[in-house]
Each structure stands twice: as C-alpha cells, then as structure tokens.
Amino acid sequence: MKHFLIINGPNLNRLGSREPDIYGHHTLEDLDQQLKQYGQNQQFRVTSRQSNHEGDMIDWVQQAESDYDGIVMNAGAFTHYSYAIRDAIAGTDIPVIEVHISNIHKRESFRHHSVIAPVVTGQIVGFGFQGYILALDYLRRMS
C-alpha cells in the first residue's frame, strides 16, 4: 500500500485561528483527519507532521525515502527563504509536491517567490485544503 507524508511548516498549527479570512476556520487537526480519511477511501496511507522548526522539516525529508512514496509539503514562510529545505528536497529521490492553502501569487510580494519551486515535482496554490487532495491524487497516480 502506498504511503505519503504530509509536512506542514511554521504557523500551520494555528489554522482555524490564524487569519481565518485567508486560511479558513478549519484546524490542522481537521485537515489531518480529512487527508487520512481520503487515503483510506483511496487505499493509501497518510502520515501528517507539522513543525515550526526548519531542522525538523529537513530531517523528515531526508528520512522519507525509506518509508514513503511521496511528500506533500506546505513549507509556510520557509517556502520563500529556506535554501536548506530546498537542498533537502533536491537531494531526495521521491516526488515532492509544494502546496499552499492561499494563492501566494495574489498576496504580498515577498510571498510570490518560492525557493523550493525549482526542485519540487509541482506546485498547487490557492485551493485551500483541496490542494492537498489534488497533490495526493497526483502522487497516487504517478508513484
């Protein structure tokens, strides 16, 4: 059975209370439940992790090859400046899909550039939680 890793970065633990006009009222726990249920329905496994710490995210990417068939990552603010996460993704042989709940290209200018975009398999932005489902669908079909 295929197994996918969801990595959520800084401040995503505050979903539901952080800027609900941008990110909605659902929590990270709601997202995790939705993705696990979707995986069960589609016959694959989902493991979700969240950290506000760059090193945790790097460790998870580096360790993922042995346990997972692909990664869905919302790196949060690290998207825009973490060359360390970018290098970890570049060094893995499994597909990584970059996901953002909001459309980062319609927001502040500093959010328009992703340093990880050149090394991920693809990028999905602006579809809310549905973006994670789209990413999982791609990984299920392609891995």
The active-site residue, picked from 3, 23, 105, 112, is 23
Question: Within a 13 Å sphere around the CA of 90, how many CA atoms are in the beta-carbon half?
Answer: 11
**Helix, strand, coil % over all residues of the chain, rounded to 5:** 50, 20, 35
Cα(24)–Cα(108) distance, integer angstroms: 18
The identity of residue 119, as a single letter, is V
The active-site residue, picked from 100, 105, 112, 138, is 100
Cα(18)–Cα(14) distance, integer angstroms: 5
Cα(15)–Cα(27) distance, integer angstroms: 5
Residue 100 host element (H or E): strand 96-100
Looking at the DSSP assignment, which residues form a beta bridge with residue 6? 48, 72
Is 138 part of the annotated catalytic residue set? no
Is 3 part of the annotated catalytic residue set? no
Q: Give me the active site residues, please.
A: 23, 100
